[in-house]
Structure 1
Amino acid sequence: MTEDELRGKRRQRVLKGAAILTGINNSEVACTVRNMHPGGAELKVPVEARVPDEFLLYVATDGIGYKAVVRWRREDRIGVEFTGTERKPRWHYG
């Protein structure tokens, strides 16, 4: 099976700046959303970035914080599933 068949939903190609917010010491990792659908997304992250298995993905252009769970990792790409949304944390400047 191809990755698209395993995914179950077709993702729309996008190019959005985003931030992975961990809440650990109010830290964040800048990333790019490469493709997305209502249930998840593929993110491009710096290779050296430490990304936890669960985090809040804040997409400024959407004005939404997506609760995300990592489903796969490959080099500088991470596939996530969205488990809900929440407001942007007050400590985040964006």
Structure 2
Amino acid sequence: MAFYAYILRCNDGSYYTGHTDDLDLRVAQHRTGAHGGYTAKRLPVTLLWSQDFPTRDEAFDAERRIKGWTRAKKEALIAGDWDRISQLARNRQG
């Protein structure tokens, strides 16, 4: 069974990061507001990025890590720009 970390763009331009074991169902829940919470008040939402992981713990760890990132770093991840992610990580370390 695969687990996923994902990033959604909300109607207000903000990003929402989560994790799940059923990406299609979870995105559908977000899109209808059935998941409640943050995204339900910011519809519609668009799936921008997802990655599968072998365990729930790894997907959850990725979610938590990404939630701590700057907007610029999240946008680099969405674009698949690993050089930019690395550069932003170095800049943050001082």
* Shorter-chain TM band: 0.3 to 0.5
Larger RCO, structure (CA 8 Å, separation 6 or more): 2
Higher strand share: 1
The structure number with the bigger radius of gyration is: 2
User: What TM-score do the two structures reach when normalised by structure 2?
Assistant: 0.35
Higher helix share: 2
